[in-house]
Each structure stands twice: as structure tokens, then as C-alpha cells.
Amino acid sequence: MASTATPASTPNGTPESLPVDAISYEDLYARWERGNWSAMDLDFSEDARQWREDFTEFERQAALWNYSLFFWGEDAVADNLSPYIDAAPLEEQKYFLATQQADEARHAVFFKRFMQEVCGIGNGSMESGLQAIKPQLTPGFRKIFDRLDTMADELRADHSPAQLAAAVTLYHIVIEASLAQPGQHFICSYLEKRDTLPAFREGMQNIAADEQRHIGFGVKLLADLKREDPVGVPKAVAKILREVTRYTAQVLMPPGWDESYITVFGSTYDEVGVEGLTSMTTKLRSAGLAADTLPGPALLPPGLSPLEVSQRGRTLAKAGVIGVREGPTKRDPETVALLFDTIRRQVNPRHGLKRATTFQWEFTDPDVPTWHLRVDNGSSVVEQGGAPNPDLRLRVSYQDFVDIVGERLDPLRAVATRKLRPRGNPLAMKRLTQVFPRG
């Protein structure tokens, strides 16, 4: 049955029509029935032979790293779906989510069987397999799936459209559409080209079809929730996206950033990254929540292609600027220049400043030069060196500054503890919050 939500209106008052309106929840359920498959019926005997004889030692190591992310992820999403079922407003939505929970459990069983029967990992129990692959999980993966756990708790306490929209965005748009789906395509592509691991390949193709159905449901549900709460839902979607997307560059982060873990199978980090970014932005647009229309700070650095966004995200993550910082942030001139160019691109175009304002960062580190940002009506310029008469001077260590940018250090706490010492026009501090509003 199609959603009974009232369509949103366009500026001229006519109902807004979206492509997902052509799909009903009843149709999505029917597709689940037609697409059912068995994880227990797959015969992994030929896969086990090929794994031993046809894969090199490094290929087995690289594949296990990648497959471990999927195994853990499938178990985690199966565990966290119950509150989504409770929060869904329509029975038809609840029924589909129940099928999705069954799908995710089947996917976890599939990966557990492959790990144990082909790779010799675990003793056959789910727990033994999961514990064996846990060290393979990447920093970005851990952060995002930890957030999925807390999101489930939040959704149990709050069934509002905005909270459900945030949960669906995290689960269906970020985890399934921008992370899992590109990874599935990467795996299926090289398995097909090599004509190898027949049972695993069949299972992965089935999983990809399941996930496509899940993503379609998530996009449709987001569109319906926005119609129910056209103000709260976009705010909630924007907030969760800004919270987790800074970790996405570290999800497909190979050990030691050794990208041969990916290129050994004929693909690149950026190919997977571009597909993930494109998938996310396309799904948001299909739900009537295009990334560049979301309230608050820009979700992505404006003026960059998807490839440039992927490259920048990887570079800043490797440098310890964004995501999980595992050591001191790099401070070479190229990294610092890229950091400040990213800051320039993040200036809120609706800052509302009535006159040009210059913000200057003066670092306590002798090896990091001063930088300043001039924000004028319709333009922003960032340059190395001191400005003649900055409106606001910010004295801070380079590492503390980077941690503020990477949202690891709260700026108000930094001021209170004197890690960040502002000097100049008091009104300029207010202007700084207009230029870089917090999500």
C-alpha cells in the first residue's frame, strides 16, 4: 500500500512529485518475496579450493580485510533494526522493515559460513567468527557503527518523524547506499572478471539485490517523513550527516593506508569513494533532501567534483585533520594550505555580515605560520601571513586548532580553558559563528 502522507508543495502550491512516489511499500514487500534466497543452500566447496590454490597470500589477506567489514556490519545492522520497526508510522512500513531484518540476519549467516568454511575463521558460531575478525575493523567503520548503536537507543526513546529520519539517513543512506553498496560493486566486479568463488559471488549478488531494495525503501520513507515534518526532518538529516560523514574516508582505510589492498583487485580507493559519494547525493536528492538544500553548514566542500571531494577527504584523513586522529596531525605546508582552503570553502554563504571581516589564526607553534581569512559580500579569500588590521585574532596551538576543525575539541571549551584565546572586536566572535555555524 502506498504511503498516506500528504505530498509536499512546490513554491507555486502544487504537490511535489518525486520518483519514489511511483513505488509503494506493498510493491517493495512483494519484491522481497520474489527475491528470497537461502544462505544455507550455497555450496562453498569449490570456493574453498580456489581460495587455497588460486588466491595469493596477499590477495587472501586483502580480501579478508574487506570481507570482515561486511561480516561485522551485517550482524550490527540486524541487531539494530527493531527500534526502526517500532518507530515506523505505517503497518506497511513495519512489515517491510521486518523483511529487512530477516535479510540482514541472512547476510550475516552467509558471511559467517564463508569465513568458517572457506577461510577457516571461527568455530562455526557467530560469536567466534565476529571476535576473530574484529581487529580488522577500520577507525571510521567503528565510529559509524558505534553511532548506529546509539541511534537505536535514541530511536527507542523518540519515535518522532525527525528522529526516525535521522536514523534512516544513517542506516539506509550512509551505511547502505554510500558505504555498503559501492563495496559490494567492488567485490562483485572482480569476482566476475576473474570468474572465481562461485558460491560467494552468487551470495554477494543476492545481497546487492537485497540492499538495493532496502535503499529504495529508505529513500521513500525519508521523502514521506519530510512531507510530515518539512522543517524538522531536513534539520535532523543535516545534523546526522555532518556528524558521521567526517569518518567515511576512514571506512575503506586499508592497513597502514596501503592502497594495494584495493588495487590488487583492479580498483582504486577513489573509484569506490566517488561511487559512494554519488550514491549518497543521488539518494538524498531523490528523497527531496538534496545535499545543497539542507539547512546549516555545507555538507560537502562547494566547488569540487566528486573525485576531488574523495581525494581531499582521503588526504585530510591521512594527515589527521578529519576523522579519527591516531597521532599528531601533519603540519607540512601542503597539508596546512589544503586545510585552510577547505575552511574557506566551508564559509556559510548566508552569513549575513554587513561588512568585510577578517579572521586571523596565530599559532603558538613556531613552525606553523599565521593564516587569515577575509569574508566579504559574496567572496572569501584565505592567505598565509598576517592581515594589516584583522577584526579577530585567534591565538591557538596548531593541534588544538585542527581538533576544533575536526570536531574533536569543542570551541567553547577551548576558549574556557584558554586553549583558544580570541583578541580584537568582541562583535567579531559573533560574526565568526555566523560564518561557521555549528550544525
6 pLDDT more than 60 = no
Query: Is the per-residue pLDDT at 7 higher than 60?
Result: no
Task: Tell me what the mean pLDDT of segment 381-385 comes to.
Answer: 96
357 and 258 inside one domain: no
Residues 146 and 292 in one domain: yes
Q: What is the pLDDT of residue 429?
A: 86
Instruction: Name which of 178, 295, 302, 278 is nearest 237 in CA terms.
Output: 295
Per residue in 152-178, pLDDT (tens digit) is 999 999 999 999 999 999 999 999 999
CA distance 264 to 59: 7
The verdict on 63 and 153 lying in the same domain is yes
> What range does the domain containing 349 cover?
333-435
Domain-embedded: residue 369: yes
365 inside domain: yes
Q: How many domains does the chain have?
A: 2
Of 27, 78, 21, residue with least CA distance to 219: 21
DSSP track, 150-169: HHHHHHHH---HHHHHHHHI
| Residue at 92 is within a domain | yes
Q: What is the CATH number of the domain that holds 420?
A: 3.30.1050.10
Q: Would you state the pLDDT for residue 170?
A: 98
Determine phi and psi for 359, rounding to 5 degrees. Answer: -110, 135
In a domain, 224, yes or no: yes
Closest CA to 47 of 256, 194, 248: 194
Confidence class of residue 297 from pLDDT cuts 50, 70 and 90?
A: confident
Mean pLDDT of 370-391: 93
Question: Do both 416 and 283 map to the same domain?
Answer: no
Report the mean per-residue pLDDT for the chain: 94
State which of 246, 268, 296 marks the end of a domain: 296
154 in the same domain as 83 = yes
Domain annotation covers residue 12: no
Same domain, 235 and 95: yes
User: Does 20 score more than 90 pLDDT?
Assistant: no
Average pLDDT over residues 351-365: 92
Query: Above 50 in pLDDT, residue 1?
Result: no
The pLDDT of residue 83 is above 70? yes
Question: Looking at residues 58-84, what average pLDDT do you find?
Answer: 97
Average pLDDT value for residue range 382-402 = 96
Encode pLDDT of 244-269 as tens digits. 999 999 999 999 999 999 999 999 99
Output the pLDDT for position 348: 86
> What is the average pLDDT across 279-283?
97
> Does residue 360 share a domain with residue 283?
no
Which residues sit opposite 361 in a β-bridge?
371, 394
Q: What is the pTM of this model?
A: 0.92
Among candidate residues 121, 122, 126, 125, the one with its CA nearest the CA of residue 108: 126
Both 214 and 160 in one domain: the answer is yes
The answer on pLDDT for 151 being more than 70 is: yes
Domain contains 306? no
**Does 171 lie in the same domain as 287?**
yes
Q: How confident is the model at residue 426 (pLDDT cuts 50, 70, 90)?
A: confident
- For residue 439, the model assigns a pLDDT of 61
Largest CA distance in the chain: 73
Order of strands, sheet of 392-396, starting from the edge strand that comes earlier in the sequence: 379-384, 371-376, 357-363, 392-396, 420-424
Classify 56 as helix, strand or coil.
coil
Domain contains 28: yes
Does residue 217 share a domain with residue 292?
yes
% helix, strand, coil for the chain, step of 5: 60, 5, 30
Residue 327 is assigned to a structural domain of this protein: no
The residue out of 245, 278, 296 marking a domain boundary is: 296
The CATH number covering residue 142 comes to 1.10.620.20
- Does residue 28 share a domain with residue 160? yes
Q: Which of 296, 313, 342 is the last residue of a domain?
A: 296
Confidence tier at 330 by pLDDT (50, 70, 90): very high
Specify whether 213 is located in the same domain as 340.
Answer: no
377 pLDDT higher than 70: yes
Say if residue 314's pLDDT is above 60.
yes
